[in-house]
Amino acid sequence: MDKNKFMRNRDDSESAKVIAFVHHKGGTGKTTSCLNIAGWLVKMKKKTLVVDLDPQGNATAGLGVDRNTVDGSIYDVLFGQKDIEETILETDSCIHLAPSSLDLLATETHMAGKVNNTTIIREKLGKIEKYFDYILIDVPPGSTLLMINGIIASENIIIPLDSGIFAYETMETLKTLLIDLDEEIGVQTNVMMALLKGYPISIFDRGPTREIKKLLKKFLTANVTSDVRIFTIPFSRKVYKAQMKGKPISHYAPHSGVGRAYRKIAKEILTIDD
Ligand SMILES: Nc1ncnc2c1ncn2[C@@H]1O[C@H](COP(=O)(O)OP(=O)(O)OP(=O)(O)O)[C@@H](O)[C@H]1O
Ligand SMILES: [Mg+2]
- CATH code (residue 25): 3.40.50.300
- Checking phi first, is residue 47 left (phi over 0); if not, alpha (psi -120 to 50) or beta? beta
Rounded to the nearest integer, the mean pLDDT of the chain is: 88
Instruction: State the pLDDT at residue 274.
Output: 56
Instruction: State the pLDDT at residue 206.
Output: 61
**What is the number of domains present in the chain?**
1
Query: Is 209 a member of any domain?
Result: no
Query: Is 197 a member of any domain?
Result: no
Distance 31 CA to ligand 2 centre (A): 4
Query: Is 258 a member of any domain?
Result: yes
C-alpha dihedral sign at 124, 59, 152, 108: negative
- Domain housing 148: 2-161+237-273
- How much of the chain exceeds pLDDT 70, in percent? 91
Confidence of residue 12 (pLDDT cuts 50, 70, 90): low
Distance 161 CA to ligand 1 centre (A): 10
Within 13 A of 4's CA, how many CA atoms are on the CB side?
7
What does pTM read for this prediction? 0.93
Query: Is 130 a member of any domain?
Result: yes
Query: Is 201 a member of any domain?
Result: no
**Of the given ranges (140-144, 185-189, 231-235), which has the lowest mean pLDDT?**
185-189
Residue pair 23/174 in contact by the 8 Å Cβ criterion: yes
Q: What is d(CA 5, CA 96) in angstroms, rounded to the nearest whole number?
A: 9
Query: Is 168 a member of any domain?
Result: no
Most informative mutation of 25, 31, 196 for ligand 1 (most atoms within 8 A of CB): 31
Q: Give the residue whose CA is nearest to atom 13 of ligand 1.
A: 27
Neighbour count for residue 176 (Cβ, 10 Å):
12
pLDDT of 108 higher than 60: yes
